[in-house]
Amino acid sequence: TLFRSSQLQSWIRGNVSDCERSIFIFDEMDKMLPGLIDAIKPFLDYYDYIEGVSYRKAIFIFLSNAGGRLINQVALDFWKSGRKREEMQLKDLDNALSVSVFNNKESGFWHASLIDKNLIDFFVPFLPLEYKHVKMCVEAELRLRGYEQNEDIVTKVANEMTYFPKDEQIYSDKGCKTVTRKIEFYT
């Protein structure tokens, strides 16, 4: 981990030295080795310069599924109480989400100083997609491929997706990840 931390820091330093408005996107943070994310802390902390380089204009985006179960549960609770998922606000998730991610031993954020020191400005939850959202994904993919809208294909693809919870079938298990492959069958 020490070698990887050093490589990561060197990579960030080189990019920001070349372009102060660099954007770094770290995907699947929940699969990152615990502790590795702390290598990024100096670049996010409240320093004006590190070794003559300012990181104030660099943007760091961390994507993770670590809070996915909690987000799904809150969305389902909203649905069960008759409220729409669009009514959900960040405050409905923020505290529980940061604590669950920070305390999850399987997460790259586990006891990470980025959370502990409040260096993450925003948690942006990706809400589970409902049937109507999946249909919108199918429509968008058809447009992207240059096909005319075909409600029959849209409905067939959306119906082939799997949804949860088992009895209610409200939210797509995989979001829209498999829409592209399913469309290929019908076009």
Which three-class secondary structure string do you get for the chain? CHHHHHHHHHHHHHHHHHCCCCEEEECCHHHCCCCHHHHHHHHHCCCCCECCECCCCCEEEECCCCCHHHHHHHHHHHHHCCCCHHHCCHHHCHHHHHHHHHCCCCCCCCCCHHHHCCCCCCCCCCCCCEHHHHHHHHHHHHHHCCCCCCHHHHHHHHHHCCEECCCCCCEECCCCCCHHHHHHHHC
Report the distance separating Cα 67 and Cα 97, nearest Å: 6
Report the distance separating Cα 126 and Cα 113, nearest Å: 23
pLDDT confidence band for 137 (50 / 70 / 90): very high
- So what's the pLDDT on residue 29? 78
From the list 28, 35, 32, the residue with the least C-alpha distance to 112 is 35
pLDDT, tens digit, 9 for 90 and up, residues 104-131: 666 556 546 666 666 777 778 889 999 9
Whether pLDDT at 82 is above 60 = yes
- So what's the pLDDT on residue 23? 95
Q: Positive or negative CA dihedral for 163, 164, 169, 171?
A: negative
**Which one is predicted more confidently, 103 or 139?**
139
Read off the pLDDT of each residue in 85-98 and give the average, rounded to a whole number.
81
Cis peptide bond N-terminal to 42, omega within 30: no
Indicate the residue type of 87.
E
The token duo for 132 is 């109507």
Report the distance separating Cα 187 and Cα 168, nearest Å: 30
Read off the pLDDT of each residue in 66-72 and give the average, rounded to a whole number.
84
Whether pLDDT at 177 is above 80 = yes
**Which one is predicted more confidently, 180 or 118?**
180
| Contact status, residue 84 vs residue 110, Cβ threshold 8 Å | no
| Contact status, residue 45 vs residue 81, Cβ threshold 8 Å | no
**Which one is predicted more confidently, 105 or 65?**
65
Report the predicted TM-score, pTM, of the whole model to 2 decimal places: 0.74
Distance set, CA 163 to CA 50, 83, 166, 178 (Å): 48, 19, 7, 13
Whether pLDDT at 20 is above 80 = yes
